[in-house]
């Protein structure tokens, strides 16, 4: 059990220390004031013990990302996918123009959903590179009057990431950061809204984080469901209805763990080291290949193919036997994908690289 390395794209690996700490207080939560006698799962979200968990999680996330005071942090349900609808419902009136950058499968899903509610302009698309790069911002065809510009900062399936934050001038930048949030420091002030499902880099599934500039609140259209209205959640500290309490608690554990490990600058260093190691193994061989433009290679999700696709299942079986699991690429892309989120230790990536070199020697 101990030697398993989990490369799942999500729900994904969590820090072992966090899991162990959660285990130790699963039945009887140890609050800063002592044992509570019940599990976090059994507590009222309005209890003092849970309010303390919630407040500290929010404060730690604010510290980690240096989130300015004029941004609200919302702890929601429905996944990043529900935000595909919430964003146009909150930020645009029916028929309003909204700009989207098409970088791959997650961007495409956001676009499809937004089209139900707004006049979507696809201002740039990476289709001409088969979604292996991010379109050069010099060629983005911004609308004159769009309510926001939407990007998918890291395409989890394609392994394609923005090289820095795009400069959209005075426009409102909205970004899906599900698979890259907390992987490195981020200048939140450059965005109007950031959203992320928790199950990649934050915690268990069931929690979605929205970070929104407060001047963007209060503009939801009339027919926007109450629970999709950001103002509802901002007014109620994300407790208008029952929040995903256990996921919120675990996210808080991950935030304080990250702070203890040196914050996001240190996380970035660890992540870059891991990614460099894996990309070097791919690039140094003629057996493995990654198609993504160098500047847009994700440090979180690394897809790669074998020279001979007939060897895919042998690769996956032997990898699994070696304790390297969940390496199968997305069904639409084929090949392999190693997701190497914050909680993947360097030893896991090293073990994968060693395995890949051995497999190539034996089968290349
Ligand atoms: C996983 C993912 C989603 C979907 O998240 P859900 O929580 O399943 O709705 C959306 N966007 C990106 C970039 C993702 O990686």
pLDDT in tens, 187-209: 999 999 999 999 999 999 999 99
Mutate to test the pocket of ligand 1, among 176, 180, 196, 330 (most ligand atoms within 8 A of CB): 176
Return all residues near 38 (Cβ < 8 A) that are at least 6 apart: 28, 29
The label of the residue with tokens 């028929």 reads 95
Residue minimizing CA distance to atom 14 of ligand 1: 178
Cα pseudo-dihedral 65, 292, 350, 201, rounded to 10: 30
Q: Which stretches of the chain are DSSP H helices? A: 16-24, 48-64, 79-91, 105-114, 230-235, 245-260, 263-283, 312-321, 346-363
Q: Answer whether residue 2 shows pLDDT above 80.
A: no
Averaged pLDDT, 300-328: 97
Closest residue CA from atom 6 of ligand 1? 79
| Torsion angle defined by CA atoms of residues 254, 255, 259 and 260, in that order, rounded to the nearest 10 degrees | -30
Q: Decide if 347 contacts 27 (C-beta within 8 A).
A: no
Q: Is 209 left (phi over 0), alpha (psi -120 to 50) or beta?
A: beta
**In ligand 1, which atom is closest to the CA atom of 152?**
13
Whether the CB of 178 sits within 6 Å of ligand 1 = yes
Q: Residue 74: what are its φ and ψ, rounded to 5°?
A: -115, 140
CATH number of this structure's domain 262-363: 3.90.1150.10
pLDDT at 170: 96
**pLDDT tens profile 60-74:** 999 999 999 999 999
The residue-averaged pLDDT of 88-100 equals 97
What is the pTM assigned to this prediction?
0.98
* Assigned fold of 17-260: 3.40.640
Give 331's pLDDT tier (boundaries 50, 70, 90): confident
Q: What are phi and psi of 214, to 5 degrees?
A: -70, -20
What single-letter DSSP state applies at residue 172? P
3 state SS of 184: coil
- Give 287's DSSP letter: S
Q: Where are the chain's structural domains?
A: 17-260, 262-363
Measured from the CA of 179, which atom of ligand 1 is nearest?
15
Closest CA to 67 of 299, 255, 231: 255
In this structure, what are the phi and psi dihedrals at residue 75, rounded to the nearest 5 degrees?
-110, 105
Question: According to the model, what pLDDT value does residue 3 have?
Answer: 81
- Would you please indicate which residues are annotated as catalytic (active-site) residues? 106, 176, 200
Which of 1-10, 148-157, 313-322 has the lowest average pLDDT? 1-10
């Amino acid at each position: 059990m101990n030697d398993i390395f989990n490369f799942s794209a999500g729900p994904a690996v969590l820090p072992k220390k966090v899991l162990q700490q959660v285990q130790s207080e699963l039945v009887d939560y140890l609050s800063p004031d002592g044992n509570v006698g019940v599990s976090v799962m059994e507590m009222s979200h309005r209890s003092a013990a849970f309010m303390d968990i919630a407040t500290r999680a929010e404060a730690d996330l604010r510290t980690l990302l240096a989130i300015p005071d004029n941004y609200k942090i919302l702890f929601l349900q429905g996944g990043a996918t529900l935000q595909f609808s919430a964003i146009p419902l909150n930020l645009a009136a029916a028929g309003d123009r909204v700009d989207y950058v098409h970088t791959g499968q997650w961007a495409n899903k956001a676009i499809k959903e937004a089209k139900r509610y707004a006049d979507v302009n696809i201002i740039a698309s990476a289709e001409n590179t088969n979604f292996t790069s991010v379109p050069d911002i010099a060629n983005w065809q911004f609308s004159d009057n769009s309510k926001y510009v939407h990007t998918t900062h890291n395409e989890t399936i394609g392994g394609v990431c923005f090289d820095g934050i795009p400069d959209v001038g005075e426009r409102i930048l909205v970004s899906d950061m599900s698979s890259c949030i907390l992987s490195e420091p981020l200048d939140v002030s450059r965005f109007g809204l950031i959203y992320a499902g928790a199950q990649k880099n934050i915690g268990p599934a069931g929690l979605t984080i929205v970070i929104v500039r407060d001047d963007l609140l209060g503009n939801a259209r009339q027919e926007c469901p109450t629970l999709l209205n950001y103002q509802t959640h901002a007014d109620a500290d994300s407790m208008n209805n029952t929040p995903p309490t256990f996921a919120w608690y675990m996210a808080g554990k991950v935030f304080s763990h990250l702070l203890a490990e040196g914050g996001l600058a240190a996380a970035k260093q660890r992540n870059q080291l891991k990614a460099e190691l894996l990309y070097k193994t791919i690039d140094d061989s003629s057996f493995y290949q990654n198609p993504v433009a160098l500047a847009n290679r994700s440090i979180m999700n690394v897809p790669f193919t074998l020279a001979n696709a007939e060897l895919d299942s042998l690769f996956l079986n032997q990898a699994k036997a070696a304790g390297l699991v969940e390496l199968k690429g997305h069904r639409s892309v084929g090949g392999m994908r190693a997701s190497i989120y914050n909680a993947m230790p360097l030893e896991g990536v090293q073990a994968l690289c060693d395995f890949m070199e051995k497999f190539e020697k034996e089968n290349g």
